[in-house]
Amino acid sequence: MKNFAKRSLQLLGAVLVMCFGPNSIEAQEFEKNILTGGPTGTYIQIGRDISNLMAGCGQTLIVNESAGSLENFLGVRRRRATQFGIVQSDVLEYLKTYSANDPDIARAIAGVRIAFPLYNEEVHILASKDLGSVADLNGKRVAVGVADSGTFLTASLLLDLVGVEAGETLTIGPDESMARLKNGEIDAFFYVAGAPASLFADSGLDASKFHLLPIVDPVLQAVYTPVQIPAGTYDFISDPLDTVAVKAVLMTYEYERRRNNYHRLSCDAVADVSNLILNQFSALQQIGHPKWGQVDLNDLPPGWDIGSCVNRGLDVNYVPNCRQEPAASLPDSPANAAYRERICAAIGC
């Protein structure tokens, strides 16, 4: 009996050492997540680029698929260990506009902050060739994206602005929309994503049957940003396409380092990511998704504050909490210092 008790104590001691030994807490990395979008969208590729920066620093940033902008915004506000989400600027405008008269929306946006402005996302409307304009969607079968996506909100606002009422509106994702369009089950679908969007890159679309609708309505060009998708961006378009775009923005939360350990570690994660994005911005532009080349760090959406943890990471003396020397895909360039000056001039860091 004594031997059994002794062995039990030894076993218990070994378990305690394994679970609570001096190095166990340090060995277990604090969880960090970014909400992006669907598997064929631009958001998830941007998220992977940021995750790669963290990997080069010896840290893990988990890239999560999502329904899109609205889910991402709410996830940053409510989902544990989710420090980042990519959101469309018109979703921000919608939430900001209605928060004044809607307490639920006001609570939803409380504490959410800007981390970085990103790039323009083009509005793609893929349609059968017999449709020539947005007005032709009247009475047609149109997929507008899943309910929590930025595509859904943009498509709904856009159709309302031009007074177009679809005969049937389907709230389905881009992959299902593509399949249904090819099978003749719908007439068109919306997809808001930075071009080139991988959904269309290897789609095998027949240019004689399908095309992207031009968006040239003066009302829409006044509300959104007029842009062109260059010829040859996708195999099935041979000429430049006039459309409109919304801005993608990297959002975070206003963590308070003094509040508790979770807030402290989350704030550190936000500061680390912000520091790495700024200091390796040239590398992102050269080896990341092509959309990094269109990012203007001065193009901050009005009415939203920059997170204090972001500002902390942008400080010239800040050193990220790397578990290894940050990977230098490219040598430091004077452009990085210039970008720091630009963003600090804009946000007062």
pLDDT at 67: 87
What pTM did the predictor assign?
Answer: 0.79
Asked whether the domain spanning 122-247 has the same topology as the one spanning 30-120+249-347, the reply is yes
How crowded is residue 314: how many other Cβ atoms within 10 Å of its Cβ? 22
Count of CA atoms in the C-beta half-sphere (13 A) of 107: 4
pLDDT at 104: 85
What average pLDDT does the structure give for the chain? 86
pLDDT at 301: 83
Q: Which residue stretches of the chain are H helix?
A: 2-20, 24-27, 42-56, 69-78, 89-99, 103-109, 150-162, 174-182, 198-201, 218-223, 261-279, 281-287, 308-314, 334-347
pLDDT at 326: 61
Residue written as tokens 């969208």?
41
**How many whole angstroms separate alpha carbon 274 and alpha carbon 148?**
27
Q: Which two tokens stand for residue 279?
A: 């200091």
Give the three-state DSSP class for 266.
Answer: helix
- Domain residue ranges of the chain, discontinuous segments joined by +: 30-120+249-347, 122-247
Sign of the C-alpha dihedral computed for residues 95, 100, 103 and 107 taken in this order = positive
Strands 168-170 and 141-143: parallel
**pLDDT tens across 217-251, in order?**
999 998 899 999 999 999 999 999 999 999 999 99
Grade residue 26 by pLDDT with cuts at 50, 70 and 90: very low
pLDDT at 345: 52
CATH topology of domain 30-120+249-347: D-Maltodextrin-Binding Protein; domain 2 (3.40.190)
Counting residues of the chain whose pLDDT is more than 70, the rounded percentage is: 85
pLDDT above 90 (res 300): no
pLDDT above 50 (res 2): no
CB 149 within 8 A of CB 67: yes
**How many whole angstroms separate alpha carbon 121 and alpha carbon 227?**
10
Grade residue 105 by pLDDT with cuts at 50, 70 and 90: confident
Q: Going by C-beta distance under 8 Å and a sequence separation of 6 or more, which residues neighbour residue 196? A: 233, 234, 290
**pLDDT tens across 38-86, in order?**
888 899 999 999 999 999 999 999 999 998 898 999 999 999 999 999 9
Q: Going by C-beta distance under 8 Å and a sequence separation of 6 or more, which residues neighbour residue 248? A: 42, 43, 46, 86, 87, 88, 89, 118, 119, 120, 121, 194
**pLDDT tens across 130-171, in order?**
999 999 999 999 999 998 788 999 999 999 999 999 999 999
**How many whole angstroms separate alpha carbon 53 and alpha carbon 282?**
12
Rounded to an integer, the average pLDDT of 329-338 is: 43
Q: Which class would CATH give 122-247?
A: alpha beta
pLDDT at 98: 82
**pLDDT tens across 109-138, in order?**
899 999 999 999 999 999 999 999 999 999
Grade residue 22 by pLDDT with cuts at 50, 70 and 90: very low
Q: Is the peptide bond before 103 cis (omega within 30 degrees of 0)?
A: no
